A and B are shown apart, each in its own frame.
Chain A
């Protein structure tokens, strides 16, 4: 029988939640890396036993952890303890926590600056990895979206990382600015039909697409409007919170923006609003049903400072028409006095039929629905604040 593995990153460690295909009884293991912020844990589609985790701390910086046995054991994939950190010819060996921006050969300084909160220019400074996206085909290749916003790639199982500097080098870089959570690259979507095509999203710059495997990028934000920009429909500067696609239809994208739920039917060339009858179109996550490309999920919150559900009722909204018409899903979710949030990387679906939907909250609950959202049950109730949720469907 198939099984499910839910990978939850929290403010104080990682947790692995497992169940068989019935999705009724769950085992919880963790905390892994107790005391550290685990921004994201994700498994390789090419090898479900290969997991990558972003372990981070304001005190001690960034660490990348890897598991080759589905989360039973973990290691840092850089140079093992006791081994020389350089090769016999003096070259440094892999350092899995080394994320260094490309710099000017002349000055040694970062190539570009970005806009600071007050409008002045500010140098790029590495803070943490927000999102890890393993390759669809090679377990040793993985992308990292980082703060300050940039994209890195490892082709050696996370031992060493190189920046795909064409993104940050885009001429619009000087107009990117941090959102309230920092200037983070938080979403990476790989097009399963075209190995050269990739989408990323940055708060607050917007969405970008490459068609040449990351060498060059262009902003794809036509149709987005942001009232905090002097020119509301600017090419960049939008606070995109999350984008999602269904693998069978990679030219169709869904977006939860700072405000507005948006849709593109042309690989991001243009966007139109599909917020429809949502009680609020502010939110963070957006997810697509595993088998129905027009069925999407969001979790509305009240507004840009009150990051909690309207009326104290935790409601997932599902649209079966690709947006505009939304239904509230409430069964099993608290419908009074609930003031948690669901962060942008904290919702995921499994591949079973019926599709399972999962999300984690800042109150430490991980909710699961084994019937595409009709009924919800908490798998765990009292974890640290959940930062991310990913799901693996195991054979």
Chain B
């Protein structure tokens, strides 16, 4: 089970608390985590990644294990602590999101 922390506005939009859990089969990467997140919460499609390019929206950042993963390749494996559920994958709005 992968833990994902959402910024406040996206929690409201999805009707969830600060942290959600998603299932990922196979490699745990930014892409597979976000695919799983969007499949479970379709209202988040387009709010984290562009609908067409699938690029991270420019004012959002991805953190995990006290590292900034925003500029890592979307298919690069996430830290093992994220894959095991020990640490969350954190989506954050730059400067707290307006």
Contact = CB atoms under 8 A, between A and B. Distances in A.
A78 interface: yes
B51 A59 contact: no
B5 to A, nearest CB: 15
Nearest to B39: A85
Interface stretch (B62-70, B78-86, B90-98): B90-98
A33 B12 CA distance: 8
Given A57-B98, A59-B7, A98-B45, 7 more contacts: A57-B9, A59-B97, A60-B47, A60-B48, A60-B60, A61-B46, A78-B42
B38 interface: yes
A213 interface: no
A81 B46 contact: no
5 contacts: A35-B12, A60-B93, A61-B47, A81-B41, A85-B45
Contact-residue bracket for chain B? 20 to 34
A346 to B, nearest CB: 21
Interface in B23-53: 38-43, 45-48, 51-52
A98 B49 CA distance: 12
A144 to B, nearest CB: 14
B9 A58 contact: no
A59 B93 contact: yes
Nearest to A37: B98
A59 B42 contact: no
B14 interface: yes
A280 interface: no
B59 A58 contact: yes
A62 interface: yes
Contact of A59 (B12, B43, B46, B59): B59
Contacts of A61: 46-47, 57
Given A59-B93, A63-B47, A95 B42 contact: yes
Given A60-B57, A97-B46, A100-B52, A82 B40 contact: yes
A391 B51 CA distance: 33
A23 B93 CA distance: 42
Given A59-B93, A60-B47, A81 B9 contact: no
